[in-house]
A and B are shown apart, each in its own frame.
Chain A
Amino acid sequence: MEANAKGTVTSLTSMFSVEEVRKATERVEAAIAEKRKEIEHFREFISENSNLISLVKKLPEELNHDIMASPRFAANAYSANHMGKVPFGKAAFFPGRLIHTNEFMVLLGEGYFVERTSKQTVEILKRRGEYLESKVNSSKAIIEDLKAEASFFGSTASELEEDLVEIREELSDEGSHESIPESGLHEQDSNPSKGYEEAVSNEEEEYARLMARLDELEKEELSAEGVDESGDEDTVPTNLDMPSGRSSSSHNLILSKDHEQNLLKQSKDDHASTEEVQNIKNNLHVLEQLNDSMVQLDDLKLQSPHKGDNKPSLEVMNSKHDAKTSKVSEMVPPNQSSRSSHDSLKAFTGCIIERPVNLPMNPEQQPGTSSQPSKPVSRFKMQRK
């Protein structure tokens, strides 16, 4: 991009090193493996639980059971006569049988036990099973998340290998049309179309805001104009009015000329419509003409005794609002023609004639600001930056 484009291009490799991405991927993989293990664990619990449920259901079917040897003991020589053995400490077993087959002491957790029947126990166990299932499900969801993360890291890694660059550009008023699709083309993010859509909506938002701001400025302008009109009439004599109005307007013209140049440059760079550029060129030309004549006028009026006195009022007027300059400059021509009838006259008539010409040039940007076509936009741009 050219020098005036606001944007940065950074290669992805400078932002994340390959090493770090690899580490991150490893970490995520490790987390996934851990969660998988957790799920395995839960699965074990679940199967144990269901075994227990079936056992508890079966136990009350008989009045009493011989204590059956667990598989561990079955392989042992002890269970020779198929008689159950009740473990007594670590060392001894003795034969026994289960009675009260419908009475269970269920551990609820935290050292709390409760006496329950088989049926009630089964209910408790089923609730526990549900709890375990929910745990498994949450773990699965977490694994899914982690997998998405891992795939993101993987794609980042592959992008790093491809030496992609990240392009960041700030949205500027004129540039937004061009810059966004461009960055989309570079595929700085994985789905450029989405980014573009966002940009478009942003743009619309921007436009709405711009219009709102313009309306605001207009209102301000109108009110300021009203104030100035009354103020000018009773405080400033027409005699003083002329030079101050002239100087301030020329001042503003210089300002706006700068802005126009900016605008021109930007719109050129952004490949704005040639029509617009043409408009701006016209504008610029007119302003230049005007300005030249203003300078001449300045030279002419330099010997005016009011000059020094006017300075402060000029300052005040400038700071108050620019809108009035348009009004003042409208007032100037009569004075001008009466006082100096040479070049400046032409300039001012040119001013008055040209301004209406300027008016339709960019109507969509400034509805209603008829007296000063280029001004509000420039100010606006200045504030926006």
Chain B
Amino acid sequence: MASSAAFRDLQRDLETRANELSKLQKEIASHHQRRKTYTIQLGENELVLKELDLLNEGANVYKLIGPVLVKQDLAEANANVRKRIDYMTAELKRVDGILQDLEAKQNSKKDGILKLQQRLQSLQAGTGKA
């Protein structure tokens, strides 16, 4: 029964591929999550920067670190926020690249699985007739 062996092989192959695909999808989902949080933080930071820019120089700025408010220089706070925004935009770009990569991979995986399924089906039809 060569055909049934081939059939089983195909099925096993399909299973492993499906597993890989679901893993990929999970990864994509987690990256999407990260991307979302980054975008939200970026928006918040931009708001902060806008407000900091509007402050006059004598203003007291504090940063909440843990349970305490630590006094900070306005210029320092400004620089920090800017740095954070830069970091976040870079990170967003990186995550976008990763996402694109993963999605391309996912699509190719899907295609492969589709082809496998078709082969399986044709095999099934062949054995069904025989």
Contacts and interface: CB of A to CB of B under 8 A. Distances in A.
Interface residues on B, range: 20 to 34
Interface in B62-92: 62-65, 69, 72, 77, 81, 84
Interface string A74-91: 000000000000000000
A114 interface: yes
A113 B62 contact: yes
A124 B59 CA distance: 14
B81 A115 contact: no
A113 B77 CA distance: 10
A108 interface: yes
A283 to B, nearest CB: 53
B86 to A, nearest CB: 14
Contact of B65 (A111, A114, A124): A111
Given A109-B44, A110-B41, A110-B84, A115 B60 contact: yes
B123 interface: no
A114 B61 contact: yes
Given A108-B51, A124-B51, A127-B51, A113 B63 contact: yes
A127 B50 CA distance: 10
A113 B55 CA distance: 12
A105 B62 contact: yes
Contacts of A113: 61-64, 69
Contact of B62 (A112, A124, A127, A128): A112
Given A124-B51, A127-B51, A110 B45 contact: yes
Nearest to B62: A113
A114 B47 contact: no
A110 B72 CA distance: 14
Contacts of A131: 47
Contacts of B113: none
B47 A109 contact: yes
A221 to B, nearest CB: 51
Interface in A97-146: 105, 107-116, 124, 127-128, 131
Nearest to A135: B43
B48 interface: yes
A180 to B, nearest CB: 37
Interface string A48-82: 00000000000000000000000000000000000
A114 B84 contact: no
Interface string B17-52: 000000000000000000000000100110110111
B20 to A, nearest CB: 26
Contact of B63 (A105, A112, A115, A128): A112
Contacts of B64: 107, 111-113
Contacts of B69: 105, 113
B61 A110 contact: no
Contact of B61 (A112, A124, A128): A112
7 closest Cβ pairs, A-B complex: A111-B64, A113-B62, A115-B60, A109-B44, A108-B48, A109-B48, A108-B51
17 contacts: A105-B69, A108-B48, A108-B52, A109-B44, A109-B47, A110-B48, A110-B81, A111-B63, A111-B65, A112-B61, A112-B62, A112-B63, A113-B63, A114-B55, A114-B61, A124-B51, A131-B47
Given A105-B62, A107-B64, A109-B45, 4 more contacts: A112-B64, A113-B69, A115-B61, A124-B51
Interface of B: 41, 44-45, 47-48, 50-52, 55, 59-65, 69, 72, 77, 81, 84
Interface of A: 105, 107-116, 124, 127-128, 131
